[in-house]
């Protein structure tokens, strides 16, 4: 039997599939941002990517089943596979991560808090932090709850803009539809946030960074996916020097 022990380094669990492209994007960024000069310098990772997890926004709106059983099943598998902590590259799923952590005993990294802290560092006095997110994230007040702890001003788009611009753009990424139009919609929503006083905007849905090029030319953009990557690296590799 081989004497190889792949548990000598901390292992990150990725609880993904929400959506699949966003999960792949998270892992790509994790590899890209890891300070490693060889294959062996990267983190061990185990991934559970189940696209059948019920829609998080639909559940929060009372229009679909709870995703909690599926999330708990995935987190338990990750823990059994050796994960020391779990990253969930889906902002809206963070409405349920406290339940997942309680049910499984595994640490779940705080994507929302990490993104808001990153935005606060780029917004003078923590004022004018715009948020582009799903209706589910807004309904659960995930960024408002984090705001209350950090003392940051959070600005959301009006409901009309959410329905006409943000929601269709997110759906387009998940459906593999016209990403050019989706990017234009996110840019239009960002322009409205700017008019409402935003000085920085958080791409608070992991689909949005994939279509945020034009939006980033309007306001400094904080990528919630990158914020989660940085939280994972800080937790498992230590703070950047």
Catalytic residue among 30, 132, 205, 228: 205
For residue 87, give Cα distances in angstroms to 71, 107, 112, 205.
12, 9, 11, 14
Which residue in 60, 90, 211, 228 is the catalytic one?
90
DSSP string of the chain? -----TTSS--EEEEE-SSHHHHHHHHHHHHHHS--SSGGGSPPEEEEE-TTSPPHHHHHTTSS--SHHHHHHHHHHHHHTT-SEEE---TGGGGSHHHHHHHH--EE--HHHHHHHHHHHHSGGG--EEEE--HHHHHTTHHHHHHHHHT--EEE--HHHIIIIIHHHHHHHHHT--HHHHHHHHHHHHHHHHHTT-SEEEE-STTGGGG-HHHHTTS-EEEHHHHHHHHHHHHHH-S--
**11 and 45 in contact (C-beta within 8 Å)?**
yes
Tell me if residue 85 is catalytic. no
Annotated active-site residue 205? The verdict is: yes
Chain mean position to CA 194:
22
Q: Which residues participate in catalysis according to the annotation?
A: 90, 205
């Amino acid at each position: 039997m081989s004497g190889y022990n792949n548990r000598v380094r901390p292992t990150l669990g990725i609880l993904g599939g929400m959506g699949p492209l966003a999960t792949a994007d998270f892992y790509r960024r994790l590899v890209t941002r890891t300070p490693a000069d060889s294959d062996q310098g990267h983190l061990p990772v185990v991934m559970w990517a189940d696209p059948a997890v019920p829609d998080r926004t639909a559940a929060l709106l009372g229009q679909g089943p709870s995703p909690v059983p599926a999330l708990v099943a995935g987190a338990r598998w990750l823990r059994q596979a050796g994960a020391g902590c779990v990253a969930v590259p889906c902002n809206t799923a963070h409405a349920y991560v406290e339940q997942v952590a309680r049910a499984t005993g595994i640490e779940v990294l705080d994507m929302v808090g990490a993104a808001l802290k990153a935005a606060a560092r780029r917004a003078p006095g923590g004022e004018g932090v715009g948020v582009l997110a799903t209706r589910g994230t807004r309904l659960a007040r995930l960024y408002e709850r984090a705001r209350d702890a950090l003392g940051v001003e959070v600005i959301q788009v009006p409901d009309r803009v959410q329905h006409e611009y943000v929601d269709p753009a997110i759906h387009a990424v998940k459906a593999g539809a016209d990403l050019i139009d989706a990017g234009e919609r996110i840019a239009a929503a960002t322009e409205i946030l700017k008019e409402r006083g935003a000085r920085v905007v958080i791409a608070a849905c992991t689909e949005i960074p994939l279509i945020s090029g034009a939006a980033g030319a309007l306001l400094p953009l904080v990528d919630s996916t990158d914020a989660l990557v940085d939280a994972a690296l800080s937790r498992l590799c230590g703070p950047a020097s």
